[in-house]
Amino acid sequence: MESVQLGKRVTAKYRMRTHLLHGIGKDHPEEEMSFIFGVDRQVPSLEKALEGCRAGDTLSITIPAAEIYGEYDPCLTKEIPRKGLIKQRLKEGQYYRQMKQGCLVSFKVLELKPRTVVADFNEPLAGISASLDLEVMAVEDASKAEIDAARDAQAKKSIGCG
């Protein structure tokens, strides 16, 4: 029986639960994925857990926020002046976006004060982690054409073309 290693096509079904800030969780429906191990890049926690597994193996994996959208950084919450911001776009709990000097300014409005805004400059999904209950369905040799296609797709993603 084949084990998961570089260049093998892995097929797995999984159920994911995302964990938002403040302990709120969300269950997602079961899905199936197939990829060439070590070529189609996956998050490090998943790759490490899968290496050496065989068809029929089941795993529970925790994926930290740093491997998904990044950690939530409380230092990116700032109180900024309201002057120069478009008043109609300032709504608590909503994202504010404005082009200023050719750059996009984007933040979540946490609180409106008379002269300032408490703004959160974290990425919108920062701090989300996940857990997976996964079953390896198949581990098979990938053809050279499949490996080449996966490498080409990864190269395009790394230069922003995919």
66 exposure class (CB count in 10 Å sphere: 0-12, 13-18, 19+)? middle
CA nearest to 79, candidates 109, 49, 39: 109
- Whether the CB-CB separation of 18 and 26 falls below 8 Å is answered with yes
- Whole-angstrom distance, CA of residue 152 vs CA of residue 144: 12
What pLDDT sits at residue 153? Answer: 82
Structural fold of domain 8-70+126-158: Chitinase A; domain 3 (3.10.50)
pLDDT at position 158, please? 65
Q: What is the pTM of this model?
A: 0.76
Written as tens digits, the pLDDT of the chain (162 aa) is 799 999 999 999 999 999 987 778 899 999 999 999 999 989 999 999 999 999 999 999 999 999 999 999 999 999 999 999 999 999 999 999 999 889 999 999 999 999 999 999 999 999 999 999 999 999 999 988 888 888 888 777 766 554
Which CATH number is 74-120 given? 2.40.10
- Sequence ranges of the domains in the chain: 8-70+126-158, 74-120
The residue among 143, 146, 138 whose CA lies nearest residue 10 is 138
